[in-house]
A and B are shown apart, each in its own frame.
Chain A
Amino acid sequence: MKREIDNKRESRRGFLKNIAASVVAAGTLAPSLLKADDPNLIEEPEWGKKLGLPVDKYLYGQPSPYEHNVVRRVHELLSSGDMYASVAMCPIHELDGIITPNGLFFNRCHGGVAIIDPNKYRLLIHGMVEKPLVLTLEDIKKYPSESVIHFIECPANGSTEWRAPQFNTLQFLKGMMSQAEWTGVRLKHILKDAGIKEGAKWVLAEGSDNSHMGRTIPLEKILDDAMVVWAQNGEALRPEQGYPIRLLVPGWEGNLNIKWLGRIEIGDKPWHAKEETSKYTMLMPSGKAIRFFWPMEVNSVITRPCPDKPWTHLKKGDVVEIEGLAWSGHGRIKGVDISFDGGKNWVEAKLKGLVLPKAWTRFSYIYKWEGEPLLLSSRAYDEVGNVQPTIDQEVGKMGVENIYHRNAIVTWEVKANGEVHNVQIRS
């Protein structure tokens, strides 16, 4: 029985061989033409005949050397001049589940990655408070902690696609986001020690790195679910994520989650920092711009298949799982719909795994593929009843010069040979 399946696979593979060779990023382990009496089984493999590495070889563990292509990637066009005000994209096409390994977490910064001496780290809290405070890292860690799972997404995620599709890779289409389990203290506990004065409405959070990134946040959010965090996925924050302390504002623009947090000022007016005037504002066709736009809206993308992980290894009639990520800064993902015909007709996918508030949620659809070409799209909706717009809906209202907050439906064109391409359905 097994052999029979393999034989079928083989003929299909023979047919696909030429095509597969032309696919740039075949997403599978070298698709060995599994012959009968496979030497990989018949003969003892290399690693079965000699000692492995000693346990003290890597005292901080490394991925297998075979995983060396699973890395963040950069593009010169996605920078403001150099690699210090730039972004390294997360390889989300290679991720499983909902947690991003710390070394792959996307890295966006505005003045390079600061390396802070934790012994010299101080957090200053002042402004409209009864008692301005200085806290050391040890002081902060004395507060009772919580651990929560949230995505962080740069609002410029997907910004290259406003006018037309341009990247044929999921990593660059949606890789300006990642998700971790964050550990820290709710800021409302710390602010009990400072004592907020009557009339306070806004908060300035400022990084202590070279960019001194400052952002205005309403006090209501700070007292609702904002946290000061020191750990991601069980270990200290990586420098790229603001070691030793970053702000976490669940569901909100990545830029507001101030890294290397150095100062919190409480006030009665918004500040209008550089990143809420020059950048991170949304220019509309009217010539006016939306000034503050905090939450990341409902969004989704199919991660398998995708241009980086095509269906070139499938044979006609294979049953395959279509899988993807859905997320919303407005709450929990309620559901995801899938279309096979470019958005004309939709069916419901299933959510799987943990369905958490303001967090990446996996969806799944089991499909029998007969080799027919598809226009494959996903469309998420969330707890506040927001639904991902079509490109025409989004562009019709927002124009194409917004840069930020692009959450229109993503479509993959699946060809008969299993190749997958990024396309757009638009007028």
Chain B
Amino acid sequence: MFKLDLKRISTFVALTLFATTSISAQPQEIKLQTPPLDKRAVDGAIKYHIKDDVYADTYKINPDAYEIKQFNFGREATKNEIKARDIDVRYDWQGLPDGKGSVEQGDELYAKHCEMCHGEMGSGGKGYPLLVGGQGTLKNQMLKPGDEPPIKTIGSYWPYASTLWWYVKTGMPFPHPMSLTNDEVYAIVAYLLSLNEITIDGEELDDEYVLTKEKLMKVVMPNVNGFYPDVNGPDGPLVMKKFLSDSSNYATPNVRCMKNCPTAKVVRISQPLDDGIRPPLSTKRDLPKKEEGSAQNSKYAKLFEEKCSACHMNKAIAPVPGDKEEWASRIKQGIETLYEHAIKGFKGMPPKGGAMDLSDEDIKGIVDFMVEQSK
């Protein structure tokens, strides 16, 4: 989820085989009562009830609301409404629409819609998720310097290809999802599967390979058996209830040690991450300094510095922010006009100042910043 997954963190805890516990005195422990399965909810939590119009011994409720058998609110959904919205693809392929696309088409589409974030051939970068590799790394634990982390990608980690189709269709490309046709999604999925060297019926997915619904449904992902407990059977919820009701499955004890408990060394922060925090940490009660503190501002100040200052910090070339006289008549034109001039160009001002990689929103943010400086 986070960049930290991938970043090598250079703070390590030296491993010792045994905790330095005091062996002289016996620990004193209190064992806690754990409720039986029938007193627990599906997640192993306490099951609460309504008693004497009070829920969970806490909240008064109106019992009449619970007596009503049907409210008949809303209206029946039409088939077309459901069809338009029912966009998921379940692991058993329920919901997968028809379509087809080749690896080669996928390659082109990837270059157009995905590469700017996910890197060449899914190699990641700029903190965006990596889409290839990692097979054979899942047992890695980064415990000491030199250890490699596990790398979780589509190829190494995802148990079902259905999820990939579903996610690319409804979640990507990140800035405008739901914009790819089904055929385009098939092509991109074919490309991503081929990058991860996943085969279908023993066949490699070369450039000409055309992925169809029938073929996709045959894909078995390498890590399909990498997850537990097995929740896919008819008793899935019960399996989960048993699993979560036994806290030894997740290292949570049921005893409180009160005296002479085993303890260990004190490990201090060696490389604090606090520096990257925005806005910087402070608990002062003072009046805000002008401008400072606005994360937006500093973002656009930075972009201005990078993309516009070459001309706009030189009075001889372009209006310099802060030069109130110069800006007064420009500001009078109205902010929309300034946006338009900045985006489309205006006299000596090239469109977007030549920084075509900036979005319109970014340009507007920078213009706001420039105007704010100049009022």
Contact = CB atoms under 8 A, between A and B. Distances in A.
18 contacts: A74-B278, A133-B76, A166-B272, A166-B273, A206-B88, A269-B90, A269-B232, A281-B227, A288-B226, A290-B227, A308-B281, A343-B261, A344-B263, A384-B247, A385-B34, A386-B34, A389-B251, A407-B252
Interface in A146-179: 146-148, 156, 159-160, 163-169, 171-172
A399 B236 CA distance: 26
Interface string A333-352: 01001000111111000000
A156 B85 CA distance: 30
Contacts of B251: 389, 393-394, 396-398
A75 B74 contact: no
Contacts of B247: 297, 384-386
Contact of A285 (B43, B76, B139, B261): B139
Contacts of B3: 76-81
B263 to A, nearest CB: 5
Give 4 nearest A-B pairs by CB, closest first: A385-B32, A144-B65, A397-B251, A331-B46
B263 A385 contact: no
A221 B42 contact: yes
B321 interface: no
B226 A143 contact: no
Contacts of A193: 70-74
Interface of B: 1-5, 7, 9, 11-13, 15-16, 18-20, 22, 32-35, 40-48, 55-56, 58-59, 61-62, 65, 68-77, 81-82, 85-88, 90-92, 94, 117, 126-129, 138-143, 149-150, 152, 154, 157-160, 162-163, 166-167, 170-171, 174, 177-178, 226-229, 231-232, 234, 236-237, 240, 244-245, 247-274, 276-279, 281-288, 293, 295
A241 B276 CA distance: 25
A309 B160 CA distance: 47
A271 B236 CA distance: 12
B153 to A, nearest CB: 8
Which interface class (under 10, 10 to 19, 20 to 34, 35 or more) fits A? 35 or more
Contacts, number: 436
A160 B259 CA distance: 30
A270 B268 contact: no
Contacts of A287: 138-139, 150, 226
Nearest to A108: B1
A212 interface: yes
B280 to A, nearest CB: 9
Contacts of A73: 277-279, 281
Contact of A111 (B5, B15, B127, B177): B177
Given A218-B240, A425-B264, A133 B86 contact: no
Interface in A242-257: 251-252
A309 B285 CA distance: 13
Interface string A62-76: 000111110101111
A286 B141 CA distance: 10
A305 interface: no
B19 to A, nearest CB: 4
Contacts of A140: 73
Contacts of A393: 251, 253
A390 B113 CA distance: 46
Contacts of A309: 283
B288 A295 contact: no
Contact of A210 (B22, B138, B177): B177
A375 interface: yes
Contact of B74 (A110, A134, A148): A134
Interface stretch (A11-19, A40-48, A53-61, A416-424): A416-424
A344 B228 contact: no
Contacts of A136: 74
B44 A357 contact: no
Contact of A189 (B40, B71, B139): B71
Given A73-B277, A134-B75, A423-B268, A387 B85 contact: no
B34 to A, nearest CB: 4
A183 to B, nearest CB: 12
Interface stretch (A24-32, A232-240, A362-370): A24-32
Contacts of B69: 192
Contact of A332 (B46, B92, B237, B256): B46
Contacts of A159: 2, 4
Contacts of A288: 138, 226-228
Interface in A207-243: 210-212, 214, 218-221, 224-225
Contacts of A263: 85-86
B227 A400 contact: no
A295 B255 CA distance: 20
Contact of B76 (A94, A132, A190): A132
Interface in A261-299: 262-263, 265, 267, 269-274, 277-281, 283, 285-295, 297-298
Given A278-B157, A308-B283, A386 B254 contact: yes
A285 B141 contact: yes
